[in-house]
Copies of this chain bind each other. A is one copy, B any other.
Amino acid sequence: MEERTIRLDLCSSRKEKPKTQQLEFGRVFTDHMFIMDYSDELGWNDPRIVPYQPLSIDPSAMVFHYGQSVFEGLKAYLTPNGEAQLFRPEKNFHRLNRSNSRLCIPPIDEEFAIKAIQQLVALEKDWIPDAEGTSLYIRPFIISTEPYLGVAPSRHYKFIIILSPVGAYYKEGINPIKIAVENQYVRAVTGGTGEAKTGGNYASSLKAQESVAGKGFAQVLWLDGVERKYVEEVGSMNVFFKINGEVVTPALNGSILEGVTRNSVIQLLNHWNVPIVERKISMEEVYQAHQDGVLEEAFGAGTAAVVSPIGQLTWNDESLIINDAKTGNVAKKLYDTLTGIQYGRVDDPFNWVVKVEENCEMGLRASV
């Protein structure tokens, strides 16, 4: 049992914080960041909080060539009485280690990573914005840094956590968005990396996104890569359809990301006795449900946007208007409850919230 202390190197002057109404997503970063190194010889070592600064990385580092990288996304929220809290961070680090496994990256100590976030967020608490819908976005990521051009797992990595005060992900907020069903490009396929949160999945999605962005669509809806028939996910969110009183979401199949918000939505629906089923669902079935007048709601769910109602779904140049392009009752209740729990405004029956300790011990110790 080794004791691990986070070394501190604090910056001498603080940056100016952006005005709340000017907050975008992921453009401004706080004063400090967390870093930890990995080498085959030392394992994960030298955890430290240092001033936010550029990384100095060899041009032959594997991350630039062979894309061996993983990341997570979560948020810190300010409660009405000024406390900082996290939402289910253990789910993120559990998933990070699953992504690590798929990408041949050595696992991290999940408990230690959460403590590192606690300490970093406590230090940067002044950066958590307090306006409605704003939060401090937390981006843990791992990159491969061995200076070597062979195609093989790297023997050096960096695990980094950066923080960014953010406004709402969609400018539209909880207003319904327009989604285009993607027929040409494929995000992921079983046997690939679709259930891992790794850079390549996002790089491959850009082309489809670009092709519809000019037409007023916020995201694309991905179909499976084999039959091009079954719904997988929406852009960077999982997707749900309410059909004839029952909520349906695509079952996890190896090519769909296992979202933390997805899991929370399922638990809440079960808690409320709203029928929810995870199964294969084809685009044809969604289309038919709309034709039959029983497609009552559709919405995406993810950390960045929480819950995003889908007001219009365009497939092969035919546009389905869902719920009169208005936010549905289930989406609204999920959004209100999830954000209510996240911001500490309503009860937390599942113990999802993790408080950030005000006086987080600077000489943090964790077993490794």
Contacts and interface: CB of A to CB of B under 8 A. Distances in A.
Given A52-B59, A65-B139, A200 B204 contact: yes
Contacts of A103: 203, 206-207
A56 interface: yes
A52 B199 CA distance: 26
Contacts of A71: 64-65
A198 interface: yes
Contact of A55 (B26, B59, B143): B59
A52 to B, nearest CB: 7
A291 interface: no
Contact of A199 (B67, B205, B228): B67
Q: How many copies does the complex hold?
A: 2
Interface string A55-97: 1111110011111110100000000000000000000000000
A209 interface: yes
Residue from A66, A102, A185 whose CB has the most chain B CB atoms within 10 Å: A66
The bracket for how many chain A residues form the interface is 35 or more
Contacts of A160: 59
A151 B192 CA distance: 20
B153 A206 contact: yes
A209 B150 CA distance: 12
A299 interface: no
Nearest to A68: B203
Contacts of A58: 54-55
Q: How would you classify the secondary structure of chain A's contact residues: helix, strand, loop or mixed?
A: loop
Interface string A95-108: 00000001110000
B104 A206 contact: yes
B25 A149 contact: yes
B193 A184 contact: no
Given A67-B69, A69-B64, A149-B139, A191 B185 contact: yes
A199 B58 CA distance: 16
Given A64-B69, A152-B209, A164-B60, A204 B185 contact: no
Nearest to A65: B71
A67 B67 contact: yes
Contacts of A210: 104, 153
A137 interface: yes
A164 B151 CA distance: 15
Interface in A286-324: none
Residue from A27, A153, A186, A235 whose CB has the most chain B CB atoms within 10 Å: A186
B59 A162 contact: yes
A298 to B, nearest CB: 21
A69 B203 contact: yes
A143 B69 contact: no
A193 B189 contact: no
Given A66-B202, A137-B149, A139-B149, 18 more contacts: A27-B150, A52-B59, A54-B57, A59-B162, A60-B162, A64-B69, A64-B143, A66-B199, A67-B69, A67-B203, A102-B207, A104-B206, A104-B210, A151-B209, A188-B192, A193-B204, A199-B199, A199-B200
17 contacts: A25-B150, A27-B147, A27-B149, A52-B59, A54-B56, A60-B162, A65-B71, A65-B139, A66-B202, A67-B198, A103-B206, A139-B149, A151-B202, A151-B206, A153-B210, A189-B226, A200-B201
Top-4 shortest CB links A-B? A200-B200, A67-B199, A26-B149, A186-B191
